[in-house]
Amino acid sequence: MFATIQPPPADPILGLSIKFKADNNPLKIDLGPGIYKDETGATPVLACVKAAEAFRTEFEQTKIYLGSAGSGLFNERIASLLLGDHQAIQDNRVRTISTPGGTGALRIAGEFINSSKSGATIWVSNPTWANHQGVFTAAGLNVKTYPYYDYDNKCLDFEGMMNALKQVSKDDAVLVHACCHNPSGMDLNKEQWQQFAELANEIGFLPVVDIAYQGFGAGLDEDAYGLRLLADKVDQLVVCSSCSKNFGLYRDRIGACSLIAKNSTVADIIYAAIQRVVRVNYSMPPAHGAAVVETILGSEELTSQWHGELEVMRERISQMRQVLVSSLADKGVKQDFSFITRQNGMFSFLGINGEQVQRLQDEFSIYIVGSSRINLAGISPDNIDYLSESIAKVL
């Protein structure tokens, strides 16, 4: 049965982590995986999460299945987190299901689109998260790309993006990052979101919004601006969200797939249909992470505590952007890295070439993805001097 199977190519990020763990250099730095780290290099459990888990441990009475849609309370509170007091919620046009992380939400969204139109095309940004193409291809979709990042000028190629999307069919889907674009850190501004929403409404393609970092950019409401605007402008919308980063629930694998339909009748139909997709996939979603999140969002005290902890993470990432740019200048680097301070979230391209990336790994034990994408959260007061000195040397 398995005799002809060949080993798959190594995942560029997971493979990097393996090399990092095997490196004995005490100065080694891991800037690859998309995981938040504090200034000590740790990824601690949030205090609000510990409090919610203690509450659940004391009062949870059963471990029975929740059904294919997951916890209704979690789904309701996540929809409110994403959309606020949006008219779509008031009109009963929103349906949300719990999923195994944001990746699970994307896979279910892909399979649901494919069940509606077999072999449909979904457009993703170039560049995009490394797993997007694989997830959607595995779900049976045809994946195409639209321009997004201008590597030469270190900015958003919005004109190229819009020109490409004007050619998209009304039967296609278009994936867009809500905030903290992975891997570039470049986000649409409000005017650009307006133009994108108008184009989506004019052509009629299905927007699929990936929001994995809500709260890591400018704030919870600010980071949801684009998806809320789309909910104003289009009749149908898919939102794939994750609680891995903003709640620190990485290994608990909890996310959500939210569907916004033209009206409540259509919403009921697609809600039943997407649960059928779930049923023949993983059948039932995990419950623990959802229970933690719904407990936090259901308590004013824990929600306030979460907002404070999220603000600390957001501000630390923003500060590391400033610190890196200043430190490189202090080391005598003449190349302009100020673009890093104009981006959002954990990621940015350094804009160095493949040979320089490899030198950072081989000579200095600094691990970044081959595209030169770095995770700013991996920078700390203890490693910034060594990091900037090493970058200066390879430049």
Determine whether 245 is an active site residue.
Answer: yes
Tell whether 73 and 213 lie within a shared domain.
yes
Tell whether 83 and 103 lie within a shared domain.
yes
Q: What's the gap between Cα 225 and its chain centre?
A: 15
pLDDT of residue 14: 76
In CATH, what number is assigned to the domain containing residue 255?
A: 3.40.640.10
Residue 313 lies in a domain: yes
pLDDT of residue 377: 96
Tell whether 271 and 135 lie within a shared domain.
yes
Tell whether 224 and 177 lie within a shared domain.
yes
Pairwise CA distance, residues 303 & 296, whole Å: 5
pLDDT of residue 118: 95
Which one from 129, 187, 223, 306 is the annotated catalytic residue?
Answer: 129
pLDDT of residue 274: 98
Tell whether 293 and 313 lie within a shared domain.
no
DSSP-derived secondary structure letter, 187: -
pLDDT of residue 21: 92
Tell whether 135 and 266 lie within a shared domain.
yes
Residue 380 lies in a domain: yes
Residue 185 lies in a domain: yes
Determine whether 210 is an active site residue.
Answer: yes
pLDDT of residue 200: 98
Its sign, for the CA torsion 328, 333, 339, 342, is: positive
Residue 293 lies in a domain: yes
Compute the chain's Rg from CA coordinates: 21
pLDDT of residue 235: 95
Tell whether 286 and 156 lie within a shared domain.
yes
| Tokens (6 digits) for 142 | 């045809």
Could you say which of 247, 272, 298 is where a domain stops?
298
Query: What's the pTM value of the predicted model, to 2 decimals?
Result: 0.96
Could you say which of 298, 313, 341 is where a domain stops?
298
Residue 131 lies in a domain: yes
pLDDT of residue 11: 77
- Beta strand residue intervals within the chain, DSSP E: 29-30, 94-99, 121-126, 142-147, 149-150, 155-156, 173-177, 206-211, 237-242, 255-260, 347-349, 366-367, 373-375
Which one from 154, 245, 252, 306 is the annotated catalytic residue?
Answer: 245
CA distances from 65 to 70, 71, 97, 215 (A): 8, 9, 14, 30
DSSP 3-state of 319: helix
Backbone angles phi, psi at 234, to 5 degrees: -115, 160
Backbone angles phi, psi at 217, to 5 degrees: -95, -90
pLDDT of residue 269: 97
pLDDT of residue 355: 96
Which one from 157, 172, 187, 210 is the annotated catalytic residue?
Answer: 210
Tell whether 85 and 175 lie within a shared domain.
yes
pLDDT of residue 46: 98
Domain range for 323 is: 12-45+302-394
In CATH, what number is assigned to the domain containing residue 375?
A: 3.90.1150.10
Mean pLDDT by 10 residues, the chain (395 residues): 87 82 95 94 97 96 95 98 97 98 98 96 97 97 98 97 97 98 98 98 98 98 98 97 98 98 97 98 97 98 98 98 97 96 97 96 95 96 97 96
- Count up the domains in the chain and report the number: 2
Residue 5 lies in a domain: no
Pairwise CA distance, residues 53 & 115, whole Å: 37
Could you say which of 271, 298, 325 is where a domain stops?
298
